Chains A and B, each alone.
Chain A
Amino acid sequence: MPRTVLVTGISGNLGRALAKQLHTETHVIGIDRRPFLGKPKDIEHHEVDLRKARVEEAFRHAEVEAVIHMGIMHDPRMPFSEAHSFNLMGTHRILDLCVRHRVRKVVVLSSANVYGPRPDNSNFLVEETPLMAADRYSDVRDLIELDMYAQSFMWKHPELETVILRHVNIIGPTVRNAPTNYLRLEVPVTVMGFDPMLQLIHEEDACRALVLALRPGLRGVFNVTGPGEVPLSAVLRELGRVSIPVPHFLLRPFVRRVFEARLVSFPPEEVDHIQYLCVVDGSRFAREAGWAPRYTLRETIRSVL
């Protein structure tokens, strides 16, 4: 375990869950432009935007041995230019500082959504699959650019162990993202006649995978999977939801309207996630890092309640 780990985006729900796991084992420094509510005393927190030069202070204070970069914005309601600038400029600055301050390990939290749900997807996407998500939903291109930027960084700086983790849908009691918002709907809408397989990972397992990636010697791009694949209908049944199936040709215009009226946080393109397959092969991370989730499929699903 590295002696000092810097975590970006630590004030988010997932960041706080990670901090909880990590701060008992090592010295944790946090960076986030939001305040860290309920911060444990031994965590040093810097409230600063990742794009600002002042971020370097966090690196000057202590000798940072490893960085977990999860300060990545996924909010479809933000203007695209803001998310794009935050994600790319922020990542650029952090990776740049890692080189200058001789950090030994960088773990970047990307997402399995960079592959995108598509009708012609193979059942299990490996890490080499082209990142095609933007082809159907262009507003995710910042996440793809970020992933590719981290990859090119990995090749340009062999002295640094870079790990890029592409997690499947992270869900859990504290996480608020598109999948958990959807699963928390009392009456979720489904696409009539479609029931794709889903992969879910519990937030604590997601954090455990990030910590596991700190292991010396590990570098590369890895899909991170949870306890298996399950049909969307089985997830909703497990949660006791009564879903309303809507034909896809009506659903998309409907979601567009309500999204534009700011009644829901799902852009119409996200309908693809409950219509087509975006399932990844997580065997490489399991093999090379010894990854195994602790939560069962049923526990993971129920964690959103």
Chain B
Amino acid sequence: MANGPLPPCYTSAMASQLLDAVRDGLREWTYALGGPGTRSRLEKLTPPRNEFGVDPYGFDAEYLVSAVAPLIWLYKKYFRVQVHGIERVPAEGRVLLVSNHSGQLPFDGAMIEVGCLFDRDPPRAVRALMDTWVPTLPFVSTFMARCGQVVGTPENCRRLLAADEALLVFPEGTRGLNKLFKHRYQLQRFGEGFMRLALETGAPVVPVGVVGAEEQAPALLDLKQVARLLSFPALPITPTLLPIPLPTRYHIHFGEPMAFQGAPDEDDEQLERKVAEVEGAVRALIARGLAERRHVFW
């Protein structure tokens, strides 16, 4: 049997040429924004891929290099992210990055991942865990899947950690993401699921503190009733109405990896103590970040 796609009709050929041009353009933009050496560094990313260019989860490294361009622009030019201690993210092996969550829209997750791709050598593709709401969103769901993100079910986490991948977890979930401006830098209750996974798989936890995202979209109120009506997780009202992020300066602090011993089914009290340890580490990183930064915007 002959290889290569069958001859498609003329219009679809044009459409796919256009798409290829956009892809190539975005890839060049990625290399330009990333600075010299980006290309060779990103080529070190070699996730498993089949003849259609994806891994079994739908992660497409080539798609990522193109699609990430606007995010690198945000990273370099808009949020002007400064990372501290990114070498603490292990180069290989299973690991859970545990971070605070804020900003109404999850740009903090995107910036942590871009940091691990562009400010770390060799780069590390981090998979963030998404809310089950995301797969119901057109375009976003496809974009997320091709960039290697997965729905945050315990089965997915177990499977990925067993395969020695790096996961990004926000134990506060939407409680943190959609909190109001007056609650900025106040950690919301941490879910415990990540700790059970860490104990079960023996994965170390790297605490992450993100400073800057908490001010990007100051929510004055959250229209919970309307959100429920639209089946959104929240409907924050910001001075710009929509939660468009302001160009705050991000500082991302990575802490020392923490190893935990114990049984994954141990009782809540013991587990809570370990979760509190991680929470404390994240809080300390945030405090350091707040103390060190000069201004919200520069």
- Using a CB–CB cutoff of 8 Å, the interface residues on chain A facing chain B are 119-124, 126, 191-195, 197, 228-231, 234, 237-242, 247-248, 276-277, 279, 296-299, 302
How far is A231 from B141 in the complex, measured between Cα atoms in Å?
A: 13
Q: Give the 3 A-B CB pairs with smallest separation, nearest first.
A: A193-B138, A240-B6, A120-B132
How far is A119 from B1 in the complex, measured between Cα atoms in Å?
A: 36
Residues of A within 8 A of B151 (CB): 119-123
- Known A-B contacts A119-B132, A123-B150, A237-B5; the reply to A230 vs B155 at CB < 8 A is no
How far is A240 from B4 in the complex, measured between Cα atoms in Å?
A: 10
B51→A298 contact, CB < 8 A: yes
Residues of B within 8 A of A230 (CB): 50, 52, 54
- Residues 123-148 (chain B) with a chain A CB within 8 angstroms: 132-133, 135-142, 145
Q: How many A-B residue pairs have CB under 8 A?
A: 93
A238→B135 contact, CB < 8 A: no
A-B contact pairs, 18 of them (CB 8 A): A119-B132, A119-B135, A120-B151, A123-B56, A124-B159, A193-B137, A193-B142, A194-B138, A194-B142, A197-B57, A229-B57, A229-B58, A231-B52, A231-B58, A237-B16, A240-B9, A241-B8, A298-B3
How far is A203 from B16 in the complex, measured between Cα atoms in Å?
A: 31
How far is A193 from B6 in the complex, measured between Cα atoms in Å?
A: 24
Q: How far is the CB of A195 from chain B (nearest CB, A)?
A: 4
How far is A126 from B57 in the complex, measured between Cα atoms in Å?
A: 15
Residues of A within 8 A of B145 (CB): 195, 197
Residue of A nearest to B154 (CB): A122
Residue of A nearest to B54 (CB): A231
Q: Which of A228, A276, A297 contacts B135 (CB 8 A)?
A: A276
Residues of B within 8 A of A229 (CB): 50, 54, 56-58
- Known A-B contacts A120-B153, A242-B11, A299-B1; the reply to A197 vs B58 at CB < 8 A is yes
Residue of B nearest to A281 (CB): B159
Is there a chain A Cβ closer than 8 Å to B239's Cβ? Answer: no
Residues of A within 8 A of B153 (CB): 120-122
Q: How far is the CB of A113 from chain B (nearest CB, A)?
A: 18
How far is A296 from B1 in the complex, measured between Cα atoms in Å?
A: 11
How far is A147 from B159 in the complex, measured between Cα atoms in Å?
A: 26
A234→B7 contact, CB < 8 A: no
Residues of B within 8 A of A234 (CB): 52-54
Residues of B within 8 A of A241 (CB): 8
How far is A142 from B145 in the complex, measured between Cα atoms in Å?
A: 32
A191→B138 contact, CB < 8 A: yes
B1→A302 contact, CB < 8 A: yes
Residue of B nearest to A193 (CB): B138
Residues of A within 8 A of B261 (CB): none
Residues of B within 8 A of A124 (CB): 56, 155-156, 159
Residues of A within 8 A of B136 (CB): 119
Q: How far is the CB of A280 from chain B (nearest CB, A)?
A: 11
- Residues 14-52 (chain B) with a chain A CB within 8 angstroms: 16, 50-52
Residue of B nearest to A120 (CB): B132
How far is A281 from B75 in the complex, measured between Cα atoms in Å?
A: 37
How far is A298 from B4 in the complex, measured between Cα atoms in Å?
A: 10
Q: How far is the CB of A174 from chain B (nearest CB, A)?
A: 18
A240→B52 contact, CB < 8 A: no
How far is A242 from B3 in the complex, measured between Cα atoms in Å?
A: 19
How far is A231 from B52 in the complex, measured between Cα atoms in Å?
A: 8
A228→B50 contact, CB < 8 A: yes
Residues of B within 8 A of A120 (CB): 132, 135, 151, 153
- Known A-B contacts A120-B132, A302-B1; the reply to A126 vs B139 at CB < 8 A is no
